[in-house]
Structure 1
Amino acid sequence: MRLILNVIWLVLAGFWMALGYLLAGVVCCVLIVTIPFGIASFRIANYALWPFGRTVIDRRDAGAGSFVGNVIWFLVAGLWLSIGHLITGALQCLTIIGIPLGLANFKMIPISLMPLGKEIVEA
């Protein structure tokens, strides 16, 4: 079932979301100071391609740098990304076949809000 949901997700939403996160990651990596944000964007892009069967957990070794970076990320991009995931998820939940896709969008909100200090693992 995960495979079917992931393929539907990839075709309908995941590919375009991953491209957006990849583009943001490239821009962040070009600007040398924001490389940690670029790496986080690449991690989210990977998660956006294939979200079913994976989950996000907190890294225990994340320190104060992750907290400060997450505050900056939240103010610059995180709030807007999470609002986008919320609206897209709500619209996808309007149809019966879109409910799992909407739930996947809701599942991406925490990592889009604060991606530093997080790890994506198999569920």
Structure 2
Amino acid sequence: MIRFLLNILWFICGGFISGCLWLLGGALLAITIVGLPYTGAAWRIAGFAFWPFGKEIVPREIVTGQGDLGTGGLGCVLNVIWFLLGGWYIALAHLIAAVAEAVTIIGIPFAIKDLQLAVVALAPIGRTVVVKR
């Protein structure tokens, strides 16, 4: 019940905008052929950004138990390109939001989720969202 209430508050107080921006970014990446490898990652992050409580972002290797293209050398190269072309300023925006949220005690759980979004914004390839038990 607490997760549900936190998700509702998150959604109303900025999660909707954050998720929509991640969806828009994914759609813009999909339009460019070069951006297609990043589209899925952006849309996975959008799902997390809309409704983050009760979920966490983990390396895909942990979930599948094996490596793949996104978790190996190619994924590393794609993450470096992502970081240089835009990941750092998306992460910076989430970091600034987290600092603003952490000013109040009530905002601390929201700041933690924004920090998680900032970390995944730095290197989204090879990551996935899982539901906490």
TM-score by length of 1: 0.95
1:68 maps to amino acid? V
**Structure 2: segments with no counterpart, 5+ residues:** 62-66
CA positional deviation for 1:104: 1.1
Note if 1:111 corresponds to 2:120. yes
1:19 maps to amino acid? C
Identity of matched residues, %: 36
Where 1:56 maps in the other structure, the secondary structure is strand
2:130 maps to amino acid? V
Question: Over residues 66-123 of structure 1, what are the superposed CA-to-partner deviations in whole Å (9 max), with x where a residue is unaligned?
Answer: 1110000011111101111111000011122212111111121221110000111012
Note if 1:24 corresponds to 2:32. no
Detail structure 1 runs of 4+ shifted over 6 Å in the superposition: none
CA distance, structure 1, for counterparts of residue 14 and residue 91 of structure 2: 15
Number of residue equivalences = 123
Question: Over residues 37-70 of structure 1, what are the superposed CA-to-partner deviations in whole Å (9 max), with x where a residue is unaligned?
Answer: 1111111111100111111111222211111100
1:66 to 75, 86, 98: 75
Matches within 5 A, 1:1-123: 1-60=2-61, 61=67, 62-123=71-132
**Structure 1: segments with no counterpart, 5+ residues:** none
Root mean square deviation, CA, Å: 0.9
2:39 maps to amino acid? G
TM-score by length of 2: 0.88
